[in-house]
Amino acid sequence: MSKQSQENQQTDLVLGYWPFAGRNMPVIFMLEILNIPYQVNIFDQNTWFGKEKEDLNLDFPNLPFLIDNSNGMKITEIHNIVNYILYKYEKGRNLQDIHRSSPYTQSRNRVKLSADHSSYNPIDDFKIDEIRFILNDVFTQISSATAKFPQENQIKYAQDTIVPKLNKLIKFIEQKNQATTSYTQYFVMGYLSVVDCYFYIISKYFQKYFPSLYDDYSHVFDLVLNSFENIPEIKKYINSDKYPTLG
């Protein structure tokens, strides 16, 4: 197992995962945006399926996992970990407001991702969670396609399972951003939210394994990806040696 943490910062939060980018990334993106110190423990097949896994004393061992050394909390499952971070720091799913008011930023008003926050409605939290689960399904289906099917059958599987979801998603994103005039402010909900942290990594996997299918969505998806990459903390992170490669 190898360890990776933010430079010169004491870390209560320890996130465990494989050496590649995957289901762990929504949590890492959130922590980077909020400037919350964390450490990543990287496992390979030998260490995860060996003694180290048992030594962690997780109730339900799985990757990713989160250990909070400030209170002894140990949890698994990506949605659970994301929700815990939001709960621990008393934040909602609207990262636009989180980022602006986070006590972990240098100044409480250091970054204002949008001049108009009127588009946010607390009811949106339920829609954000709905899309999080849909994107998680897409990630699972991408993994299934590439692991279970020969290459000649992967596109057919993706067309049957993934494409119908993305057709709905692209319409949703276009509706939410129909009044947007800035291509650096193009997000899934029309403002930066937790769901963008999911959308980024899953879109990157879809683009990698199904480039011909991705082309049908690139005119919208690329705008969201570029907006996310232009967040200063995200730009710094993905250009650093901490950013893992896709699996």
Q: How far apart are CA 245 and CA 106, in angstroms?
A: 29
pLDDT at 2 over 50: yes
Position with higher pLDDT, 16 vs 151: 16
pLDDT at 116 over 50: no
* DSSP 8-state class, residue 246: B
Average pLDDT, the chain: 84
pLDDT at 103 over 60: no
Tell me the pLDDT band of 109, cut-offs 50, 70 and 90.
very low
The structure's pTM equals: 0.85
Residue 124 is predicted with a pLDDT of 81
What amino acid is encoded at 12 in this protein? D
pLDDT at 3 over 70: no
| Residue 126: closest CA among 227, 75, 221, 194 | 194
For the chain, list the domains and their CATH numbers.
Answer: 2-115+232-237 (1.20.1050.130), 124-229 (1.20.1050)
Q: What does residue 206 show for φ and ψ, rounded to 5 degrees?
A: -60, -40
